[in-house]
Amino acid sequence: MLSKNKTGWLLLSPTILILVLAGLVPFFYVLYVGFFQWNPLAVDPSLQFDGFASNYRRLIFDEIFLESIWRSIKFSVVTLSIELTLGFLLALSLLSSFPLKSFFRSVHTLPLVIAPIVVGSIFKLFTVQGLGPLPHILKDYFGYTLNYGLNAEQAFWMIVIMDVWHWTPFVTLTLLAGLSALPQDPYESAKIDGANNFQIFTYITIPMMVPVLIVVIFIRLMDSLKIVDEVWMLTGGGPGYATRFTGIHIWKEVFEKRYYGLGSAMSILYLYITIVICWVLYSVMVARGKNED
């Protein structure tokens, strides 16, 4: 048996080695650097200890950082609710048959495989003042001026629209896969008992879909909390701080201002908040799922 286990570990070892070197080591390194003041461009470019957790103390009063976290959370909640509603409706509509269904479905899959940075470029070309058709259409037919280069509110919602465009298909297709795999018996007995479609939906479909919904919410939330690429391409985090999500904020602090120590502390807090949010969400949903059993 021992030799058999040895073979197993041998097969696993390259994977573990890579994940330790590129996943765990950076984590502990950033944890370590977070306790120091470190700016390689300063007069003294070495690591300096400045009281325990001084960076964290600074961060708690750093309004721009806290706002960026709040912004990321708001963004995640907004996009998640839109995508979930839209995706569920579209998934339900795909259960029935209608002309050209498989064609529509293929087109709907397309945004999923496009790189976020390319999605950012596509939207930049489509919406930028002076080039894109969207500002022209809005101006000519609705008298609405779209210039997210100057308007903070518009910039935020432009990112939301882009994210919905990019990721609703993921929600649709995943929920569709879940819906198609549901057992048919409960539906048949509910129909025999005279339940209407709304009752069937709330008392049968939704509870049976909880596991799939958890997966979807979990993945979407994780991904939208770490959004960087598309935003970087479309607005660069601006105007002002309007679309500066946490990922972009860290990038700017670390690589533009070279605040290595502070940036590390931010990274750790960011990681911590992401984990906490997902853990809370996960426990709530698992608990709800259990109650309904």
| Interface with another protein in residues 242-271 (CB under 8 A) | 246-248, 250-251, 254-255, 260, 263-264, 267-268, 270-271
Neighbours of 116 (CB within 10 A): 19
Distances (CA, A) of 97 to 25, 91, 127, 191, 204: 52, 12, 35, 20, 22
The site map against another protein for 133-152 (x = CB under 8 A) is x--x----------------
Alpha-carbon gap, residue 263 to 62, rounded angstroms: 12
Alpha-carbon gap, residue 80 to 216, rounded angstroms: 9
Where are the strands (E) in the chain, listed by range? 36-37, 48-49
Q: Which amino acid is at 139?
A: K
Question: Does the footprint of another protein cover residue 158 (CB under 8 A)?
Answer: no
Alpha-carbon gap, residue 82 to 220, rounded angstroms: 12
CB 170 → another protein: shortest distance, Å?
A: 6
Size of the site for another protein (CB under 8 A): 94
3-state secondary structure of 128: coil
Alpha-carbon gap, residue 293 to 289, rounded angstroms: 7
In angstroms, how far is CA 23 from the centroid of its own chain? 20
Question: Does the footprint of another protein cover residue 125 (CB under 8 A)?
Answer: yes
- Positions in 3-32 near another protein (CB under 8 A): 4-5, 7-9, 11-12, 14-16, 18-19, 21-23, 25-27, 29-30
The site map against another protein for 42-81 (x = CB under 8 A) is ----------------------------------------
- Positions in 217-246 near another protein (CB under 8 A): 219, 222, 225-226, 228-229, 232-233, 236, 246
Contact with another protein (CB under 8 A) among 146, 212, 231, 242? 212
- Positions in 170-199 near another protein (CB under 8 A): 170, 173-174, 176-178, 181, 196-198
